[in-house]
Amino acid sequence: MEDYPYPTLSDFGKDPWWLMLGKVLAIFVFLVLTVLLSMWVERRIIGRMQLRVGPNRCGPFGLLQGLADGVKLALKEDIVPAGVDKVVFWSAPVIAAVPAFISFVVIPFGPTVSVFGHQTPLQGTDLPVAVLLVLAMASLGVYGFVLAGWASMSPYSLLGGLRSSAQVISYEIAMALSFVGVFLFAGTLSTSGIVAAQHDRWFVVMLLPSFVIFVITMMGESGRIPFDLPEGEGEIVGGFHTEYSSLKFAMFFLAEYINLATLSALATTLFLGGWRAPAPISTFWAGANEGWWPILWFLVKMWMFIFFFIWLRAALPRVRYDQLMKLGWKVLMPVSLGWILLIATFRALGNAGYSPLVFVVGTSALLAIIAGISVVVDRLRRDRARAAEADQEPARPTAVKPDPFAGGFPVPPLDAPHYHGAVPRPATEKKEVESGIH
């Protein structure tokens, strides 16, 4: 472990007021710029993957396209449908956007540095339960989506709000369970303490199943493709923000991309060593984790996750809602609970002085056997269900040729290609025309 001190909980709360204000302002500006750049990067990458150009008009290489979109949204007419609950309708975008900003305050960008002669950590603040603050803000943000759907007095918006609440509840539980392994190995819920606990080995190596579960729940928590069911425009027009326009819609848009950055930064902090440089760089360069350089390593890791989100959006289709719920409740949660039991046993054996190698090998073999048996049983059950359906399938009735003039409506039969031109009228309709009724 390096000889320079890591930030601890006692280092926070000692900054002068102007430095605290500067940190808050820097985090706000960083998030806004990250949103603008994420929009440009996403549209350029997806355009390249879909053999399109992407934005290239506003500014050099289209870099100002996000700013142009923001100005456009701000200048659009603000339409409020009649009959909405105006207080809740106006409050919902704020409730969705503000928690997204608050979550980033506990993310560490680097170690302790000197700012105008004051030693301060490169972090807004830290708490003994900092990771739980992020989960709490994510839970609070979904209230904005639910209230937006309810206050809009629209069935499509209400359906999108209900979908959003069900999805967040389903995947937030599995996300919280994926953090337990990190807490057991780090011995703390403080974000700066978790980064310090990864000084010799990143948690992604020791807790790979937890990392995989967290990445899946990240997609469910952010509500992006392939898990953007709350905004499925094919069946609910646009989701909870169907009735929103102008700046209120822009706040929902802002909350989505800030959540994207927050989840990427949280994954970097918990599993990829936070602001610490990768092993090859830190091995050959003694000062890689000192001063302001760690900000670079942190941004590189965070943008790797953002690119991963963008790549999934361009490559994967939207899943069905029953598949979404089944994955959350029947797969991720049981696997998370089983993995927590294994980690706890592993740590207990290590603390007692026993070698956990035999336990790990035996448990791995047992899990492989259980997984194989479950696959075989599932396959046999599926084949048996298909055979039962085939035995119970009734005989198909003989096809009846439809009458093209049934109900007095002239419809050409599909199996008669010799009809060309006008369709002959039925006899009753001819008499009515001749008698002058029409």
Task: State pLDDT tens for residues 171-187.
Answer: 888 889 999 989 988 88
Concatenated DSSP letters for 14-79? -S-HHHHHHHHHHHHHHHHHHHHHHHHHHHHHHHHHTT-----SSSGGGTTHHHHHHHHHHHS---
Max mean pLDDT among 20-29, 116-125, 276-285, 408-417 falls in 20-29
Please state, in angstroms and rounded to a whole number, the distance separating the CA atoms of residues 145 and 233.
16
Beta bridge partners of 113: 120
Q: Where do the domains of the chain lie? A: 14-355
Q: Which residue has the higher pLDDT, 382 or 409?
A: 382
Q: 276 and 198 in contact (C-beta within 8 Å)?
A: yes
What pLDDT is recorded for position 145? 85
SS3 317: coil
Q: Which residue has the higher pLDDT, 212 or 415?
A: 212
Q: Which residue has the higher pLDDT, 345 or 105?
A: 105
E strands within 322-389?
Answer: none
Q: Which residue has the higher pLDDT, 417 or 275?
A: 275
Place of tokens 């046993």: 345
What pLDDT is recorded for position 298? 92
Please state, in angstroms and rounded to a whole number, the distance separating the CA atoms of residues 130 and 262.
13
What pLDDT is recorded for position 390? 75
b vs e for 274-303, b when ≥16 Cβ sit within 10 Å of the residue's Cβ?
bbbbeeeebeeeeebbbeebbeebbbebbb
Percent of all residues in the chain with a pLDDT value above 90, rounded to a whole number: 11
Label residue 223 by pLDDT band (50, 70, 90). Answer: confident
Task: State pLDDT tens for residues 94-117.
Answer: 888 888 888 889 999 988 888 888
What pLDDT is recorded for position 387? 82
Label residue 265 by pLDDT band (50, 70, 90). Answer: very high
pTM: 0.78
Task: State pLDDT tens for residues 381-393.
Answer: 888 888 887 777 6
Task: State pLDDT tens for residues 323-334.
Answer: 888 888 888 888
**Mean pLDDT score across all residues of the chain:** 81
* Res 228 pLDDT > 90: no
Q: 106 and 124 in contact (C-beta within 8 Å)?
A: yes
Task: State pLDDT tens for residues 310-320.
Answer: 898 888 888 88
Cis peptide before 226 (omega within 30 of 0): yes
* Res 351 pLDDT > 90: no
* Res 257 pLDDT > 60: yes
